């Protein structure tokens, strides 16, 4: 009998659900906007969309080995509880308990960046390495940490808040309240904010020229302008590269991992502009011992990386 | 029969050797200045001082269960090789091989901050916790990382370079070549450099008044002035607290450890001025999930922490 997993990637803007085999084949997938109106409605929507996905795909519930939900952090792992999540705008929500009740069976709840790290580790090409860091550069920035071949969560599940590493003490204000967090300098949100500021000062005309009428310029428009050789766009890209490079060199110096895998919408969408320059920055700025043989690459799992993590979380026995 | 360990803490300025029992009792200790003239002379001095320590203490060599040497990083653990150490001014030196030969038996070689973390973990009060970070604030800044109850070295032994976490991208130049490393902002060297700059500008008179004639002001003089309520000294202390706080909050957000232990000459000498303010900074700036129940304290092992680590490295069987 085939072993199937129902995975849900809950984000601030979308709910991605999928039914995936332990062989990595995705049998069915659905994508919904995260409804406004608070946690109850979101949790109801997750349960309903899961039921719908089963029905539409003709897969019987008994065929599902397990259910795993990825949610934005901070997330208390033992409690399965989202804690003061800025992305969801939630206080304390017992996702594990609430969804287990709604779905009539136990569910695994894991922070989304941790789930992505599991996906990359078990379904990417580096499953033989012992230390792997997965970094997502999307609207926000976060990380999942594999140490000794296992997911590292820290004391309460709080590990991996790489986006809230302060790298520029005098830098821009972050939505976490601190100054100069990596997320405030190099995330998709940070790019959009900087483009707004430029537009407000009458700068960035080349980027605005790449922006569809009525749309706010963001990473995609910045990239389009940079690819056309627009100087202001190139300068901003260079700054993003510098900040990502600082953050990743900090990680290399602190944790000396074997592999650092990058993903997330901004990173994958701007891969041609970011990956090689970031690699070169890290090669220039991390200690020789820490950068030698260090692999820095983009994930090949794309948007589905979290769904792959859901399969790993359910099916791989040594996931602790 | 008593089990004894010969431990050596090799630093840029001093060589501290000791014979310690596995019960934590220090039977003999010697302290020498690190000789100038390159690695050969330093390694000869270590071997000679070990022989001398045995002779002076009347302990027979057969009673020594094992020998462990702590050396400044970067240190390739598998090779037992110091690599481009700014503190020692060495290129590549095979410390393990050279000292094993000189001493006629195998020696364990470990990075000094890692050794200190082992000492704290096995001889401090938190040996039951799973995640412990040890941070030294001395002439430089470094860290040792215990994860899952084991020393975490990363791929090649390069983990723990906390002093070279950039926290202020526009900040002071570090001797590693980067800008705004924690070590360039909050270490003993950084304090002395800032006091020199102040003196050069005719500032810091209250600190100079606390400085013995002919001496360059440093952390000790800064502390004396701050304790007398000197405003410039208090301001500089506040800046040191801020940078240490940023660095430690970054670690708490990234690794969510149970315990963070602080040591090193600057930290222990200025404990009354630094510890509580740093704790408060971290409580204000790390995520709730990451700071709750987080213990931040100073080591009780003082200058001998690395020697305790040498005992742990030799005698504790599950040290990998």
pTM above 0.90, yes or no: yes
* Alpha-carbon torsion (A177, A180, A182, A186), positive or negative: positive
Closest chain B CA to residue A168: B168
The yes-or-no verdict on residue A27 having pLDDT over 60 is yes
ipTM exceeding cut-off 0.90 for this assembly: yes
What mean pLDDT do residues A17-34 have? 94
Q: How many contacts (CB atoms, under 8 Å) link A and B?
A: 160
Q: Is A290 close to B161, i.e. CB distance below 8 A? A: yes
CATH topology of domain A4-120+303-315: Nucleotidyltransferase; domain 5 (3.30.420)
| Nearest in space to B154 (alpha carbons), one of B255, B243, B252 | B255
For residue A94, what pLDDT band results from cuts at 50, 70 and 90?
A: very high
Closest chain A CA to residue B78: A289
Separation of alpha carbons B188 and B87, rounded Å: 13
Q: Is A167 close to B171, i.e. CB distance below 8 A? A: no
* Average pLDDT, rounded, for chain A: 95
Query: Closest partner residue to A256 among B84, B147, B159, by Cβ?
Result: B159
Please answer whether residues B64 and B32 qualify as being in contact, where contact means their C-beta atoms are separated by less than 8 angstroms.
no
Q: Which residues of chain B have pLDDT under 70?
A: 1-2, 317-320
Residue A64 in tokens: 């599902």
For residue A318, what pLDDT band results from cuts at 50, 70 and 90?
A: very low
Separation of alpha carbons A269 and A271, rounded Å: 6
What confidence tens digit (pLDDT) does each residue in A165-176 have? 999 999 999 988
Judge residue A269's burial from the number of C-beta atoms within 10 Å of its C-beta, 0-12 exposed, 13-18 middle, 19 or more buried.
middle
Q: Is A143 close to B74, i.e. CB distance below 8 A? A: no
Residue B73 is classified by DSSP as S
Q: What is the pLDDT of residue B1?
A: 58
Query: Closest partner residue to B246 among A130, A166, A246, by Cβ?
Result: A166
Q: What is the pLDDT of residue B179?
A: 96
A154 contacts in chain B (CB < 8 Å): 131, 255-257, 290
Q: Report the residue count for chain A.
A: 320
Please answer whether residues B184 and B168 qualify as being in contact, where contact means their C-beta atoms are separated by less than 8 angstroms.
no
Q: Which residue ranges does chain A devote to CATH 3.30.420.40?
A: 4-120+303-315, 128-299
What is the percentage of chain A residues whose pLDDT exceeds 70? 98
Q: What is the pLDDT of residue A320?
A: 44
Separation of alpha carbons A155 and B27, rounded Å: 37
Q: Is B171 close to A169, i.e. CB distance below 8 A? A: yes
- CATH number for domain A128-299, candidates 3.30.420.40, 3.40.1350.10, 3.40.50.1100, 3.40.1180.10: 3.30.420.40
Q: What is the pLDDT of residue A317?
A: 56
Q: What are phi and psi of B38, to 5 degrees?
A: 95, 170
């Amino acid at each position: 009998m085939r072993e199937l997993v129902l995975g849900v990637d809950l984000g601030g803007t979308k709910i991605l659900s999928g039914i995936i085999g332990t062989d990595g084949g995705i049998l069915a997938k659905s994508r919904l906007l995260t409804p406004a109106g608070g946690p109850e409605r979101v949790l109801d929507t997750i349960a309903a969309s899961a039921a719908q996905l089963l029905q539409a795909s003709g897969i019987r519930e008994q065929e599902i080995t397990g259910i795993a939900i990825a949610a934005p952090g901070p997330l208390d792992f033992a409690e399965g509880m989202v804690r003061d999540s800025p992305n969801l705008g939630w206080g304390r929500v017992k996702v594990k308990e609430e969804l287990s009740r709604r779905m009539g069976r136990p569910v695994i709840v894991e922070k989304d960046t941790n789930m992505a790290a599991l996906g990359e580790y078990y379904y990417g090409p580096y499953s033989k390495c012992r230390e792997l860091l997965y970094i997502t550069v999307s609207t926000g920035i976060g990380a999942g940490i594999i140490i000794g071949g296992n997911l590292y969560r820290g004391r309460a599940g709080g590990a991996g808040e790489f986006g809230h590493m302060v790298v520029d003490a005098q830098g821009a204000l972050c939505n976490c309240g601190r100054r100069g967090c990596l997320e405030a300098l190099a995330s998709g949100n940070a790019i959009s904010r900087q483009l707004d500021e430029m537009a407000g000062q009458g700068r960035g005309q080349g980027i605005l020229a790449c922006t569809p009428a009525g749309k706010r310029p963001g990473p995609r428009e910045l990239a389009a302008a940079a690819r056309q050789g627009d100087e202001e766009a190139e300068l901003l890209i260079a700054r993003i590269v510098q900040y990502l490079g600082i953050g990743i060199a900090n990680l290399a110096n602190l944790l000396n991992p074997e592999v650092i895998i990058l993903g997330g919408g901004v990173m994958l969408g701007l891969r041609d502009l970011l990956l090689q320059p970031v690699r070169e920055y890290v090669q220039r700025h991390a200690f020789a011992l820490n950068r030698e043989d260090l692999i820095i690459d983009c994930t090949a799992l794309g948007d589905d990386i979290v769904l792959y993590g859901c399969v790993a979380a359910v099916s791989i026995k040594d996931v602790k």
